[in-house]
Chain A
Amino acid sequence: MTDNINDQPEGRVPARVIGTPPSNGPILGDEIVHEEKGVPGVIPADPAVAKRAERIVALLFTITFLAGAAFIASYVIFQVGTIDRTAASNYALGSSLSIALLSLAAGIVVWVRQIMPKYNLVQERHPMASDADTKEYVEETFLQGANESGFVKHKLLRRTLLLAAAPLGLAPLVLLKDMGPLPGTALRHTVWGVPTKDGKPRRLVVEGTGQPIRAADFNSPGGILSVIPEGYEEDLNALAKATLILLKFRPDEIKSGTNLNWTHDGIVAYSKICTHVGCPAALYEQTTHHILCPCHQSTFDAADGAKVIFGPAARPLPQLPIAIDSEGYLVAKSDFNVPVGPSFWERGDAEAEAREQKA
Chain B
Amino acid sequence: MDTTPKAIAGVSTFLDDRIGPGNFLKRNLRKIFPDHWSFLLGEIALYSFIILLLTGTFLTFWFKPSMGEVVYSGSYQPLVGVKMSEAYASALNISFDVRGGLLIRQIHHWAALLFIAGMMVHMLRVFFTGAYRKPRELNWLIGVGLLTLALLEGLTGYSLPDDLLSGAGLRITEGVMLGIPVVGTYLTFLLFGGEYPGHDVISRFFTIHILLIPGILLALISAHLVLMWVQKHTQMPGTGRTEKNVVGAPFYPTFMAKAGAFTLFTFGVIALLGTFAQINPIWLFGPYTPADISAGSQPDFYMGFLEGSLRLMPAWEINFLDHTVSLSVLIPALVPLGIVMTGLALYPFIEQWVTGDRREHHTADRPRNNPHRTAIGFSGIAFYGVLWLLGANDEISANFHISLYETTIFGRFAIFLVPAIAYVVAYRICIGLQRKDAEVLSHGVESGVIKRLPHGEYIEVHTPAAQDIADHIRGKAEIPIIESGVDGEGIPPKGARTALGRLRAKASEAYGTDHVPLEEGHGHDEHAAIGAGDHSDGHRDGH
Contact = CB atoms under 8 A, between A and B. Distances in A.
B428 interface: no
A196 interface: no
Interface in B239-264: 239-240, 243-250, 253-254, 257-258, 260-264
B156 interface: no
Interface residues of A, number: 116
B238 A16 contact: no
B195 A83 contact: no
B508 interface: no
Contacts of B254: 112, 116, 119
Nearest to B534: A11
Contacts of B176: 277
Interface string B297-318: 1000000000100110111110
Given A123-B245, A312-B310, A237 B198 contact: yes
A279 B394 CA distance: 15
A257 to B, nearest CB: 16
Interface in B202-257: 204, 231-232, 238-240, 243-250, 253-254, 257
Interface in A168-221: 176-177, 179-183, 186-187, 207
Contacts of B75: 80-83, 86
Given A40-B247, A294-B296, A95 B253 contact: no
Count class of interface residues, chain B? 35 or more
B539 A23 contact: yes
Contact of A108 (B174, B260, B321, B539): B260
A280 B292 contact: yes
Interface string B177-198: 0111111111011111111111
Given A37-B467, A343-B178, A19 B448 contact: yes
B523 interface: no
B440 interface: yes
Nearest to B246: A123
Contacts of B402: none
A247 interface: no
B280 interface: no
B268 interface: yes
Contacts of A108: 257-258, 260-261, 264
Interface stretch (B98-106, B145-153, B478-486): B98-106
A294 to B, nearest CB: 5
A191 to B, nearest CB: 11
A352 B321 CA distance: 12
Contact of B329 (A15, A31, A120, A276): A276
B96 A80 contact: yes
A183 B198 CA distance: 13
A303 interface: no
B339 interface: no
B264 A11 contact: no
A346 interface: yes
B442 to A, nearest CB: 14
Contacts of A124: 244-245
A78 B101 CA distance: 13
Contacts of A17: 448-449
Interface stretch (B2-10, B30-38, B375-383, B509-517): B30-38
Nearest to A32: B37
Contact of B100 (A93, A236, A314): A93
Contacts of A104: 264
Interface string A294-322: 11111000000000101111110000000
Given A102-B268, A314-B315, A80 B291 contact: no
Nearest to B170: A278
A243 interface: yes
A315 B319 CA distance: 12
A346 to B, nearest CB: 6
B420 to A, nearest CB: 24
A13 B188 CA distance: 77
A137 interface: no
Contact of B190 (A12, A119, A179, A226): A179
A40 to B, nearest CB: 6
Interface of A: 1-2, 5-6, 11-17, 19-28, 31-38, 40, 43, 75, 78-83, 86, 89-91, 93-95, 97-98, 101-102, 104-106, 108-109, 111-112, 116, 119-125, 127-128, 176-177, 179-183, 186-187, 207, 226, 228, 234, 236-237, 239-241, 243, 272-273, 276-280, 282-283, 294-298, 308, 310-315, 341-349, 352
Interface of B: 30-32, 35-37, 69, 75-77, 83, 95-103, 106, 135, 168, 171-172, 174-176, 178-186, 188-198, 200, 204, 231-232, 238-240, 243-250, 253-254, 257-258, 260-265, 267-269, 271-272, 274-276, 288-297, 307, 310-311, 313-317, 319, 321-326, 328-329, 332, 360, 362, 393-394, 404-405, 408, 436, 440, 445-452, 458, 461, 463, 465-469, 472, 531-532, 535-536, 538-540, 543
16 contacts: A94-B272, A98-B275, A122-B32, A125-B244, A125-B362, A183-B189, A187-B178, A243-B290, A273-B290, A295-B310, A308-B315, A312-B313, A341-B178, A345-B182, A345-B324, A352-B319
Give the 3 A-B CB pairs with smallest separation, nearest first.
Answer: A277-B175, A94-B275, A20-B448
Given A20-B446, A183-B185, A280-B290, 4 more contacts: A24-B536, A98-B268, A106-B261, A349-B319
